[in-house]
Amino acid sequence: MPPARTDQLRQGSAWPARARLAQDGAGAVPQRAGRVPLVSRGLELAERAVRAAEGDEAQAIVRRERSGLARYASSEVHQPTLVENEVVELQVVRDGRLGIAIANRPGEDGLRELAARAAEAAGSAPADPDFPGLVTETEPAQVEAYDEE
């Protein structure tokens, strides 16, 4: 593994008197074994949802939330909360009919149930002869956005 560049190093928080300078010298960013980036976990969950779907086309959208809140009363922490949630929206097309189901149970049983509900919704939806189908994978457009001024 090549050595880390200066911009990749963790330097700690700044001193109060010198807001732009870090207290600690540069050091390696801590790595933990078995850690998977959150984006990879969301992508893997979307792929599992699409595999569980039955239909002509399927698309999954995963939204992940991690938030915390602490309420204070009389200068003490009164009600700390931490929320971690994964929501999967599954869109299934059957014979030109679109069915959508949403759930927050990312396990195999939850995804099978989600796929069944999306397929049921597609089966009961009216057919649309003008439906173009789901969005296909495309390369993002190249944008010239650099301004030297």
- 32-80 residue pLDDT tens: 666 666 678 889 999 999 999 988 999 999 999 889 888 888 888 888 8
- Output the pLDDT for position 52: 95
- Output the pLDDT for position 141: 87
- Smallest Cα–Cα separation from 113: which of 102, 122, 99? 102
- Residue 42 sits at φ, ψ, to 5 deg, of -65, -40
Give yes or no for residue 103 having a pLDDT over 60: yes
Domain membership flag for residue 70: yes
pLDDT, tens only, 85-102: 999 999 999 988 999 999
- Output the pLDDT for position 32: 63
Positive or negative, the CA dihedral 116, 117, 118, 124 is positive
pLDDT, tens only, 106-123: 899 999 999 999 999 999
Give yes or no for residue 9 having a pLDDT over 60: no
- Predicted confidence band of residue 5 (pLDDT cuts 50, 70, 90): low
**Domain hosting residue 81, numbered range:** 55-126
- Helix ranges (H only) for 16-141 are 38-52, 108-124
- Output the pLDDT for position 60: 96
Domain membership flag for residue 111: yes
Domain membership flag for residue 148: no
Domain membership flag for residue 91: yes
- Its pTM stands at 0.64
Domain membership flag for residue 21: no
Instruction: Give the chain's domain count.
Output: 1
